[in-house]
Chain A
């Protein structure tokens, strides 16, 4: 059981706006910067967002937000190449560990 909760799967059509969520608590998401990572076919993860900042080489259709203990990754104008697994992660000071969400499988219909 992951410390951070993500949807198991989300789907959308090309051009659609989709939102992936990452819910934690005040020990983690509510206090620390959340990172978002894209993984295609179990290859090397790629950093998409660090907090509200786009990682290097990531298109600006990706954005992120946080409200309280829930962080969100927003993809505006979904593209076929966005189909992947997405993970969120942050520090948890109670667990004294970096924690990941269980991952969301994004399908582009």
Chain B
């Protein structure tokens, strides 16, 4: 089955720093999604990418769908305390008509020191 490698596993940064995390896949995905999960809560969708090469922003967040369709990155600029959490990438093989669920990375724990 598909495998997603997400890195880094955890990040300890100072408030105000920029953050970068990425996911690589052993197979091609047609959709890449980035989620944030707070403790005791469900994943919340941050950015959805549907096209190879697509670069999408959502406030201080920017994500790109790699040209090879096998990777994606998420950047957070000027981190603030509420950015703390676990960030998951997720890929979906079929962009329509299929039956696949999402394949998730293992998450990046973001910890911000004031």
- On whether the two chains bind one another, the answer is no
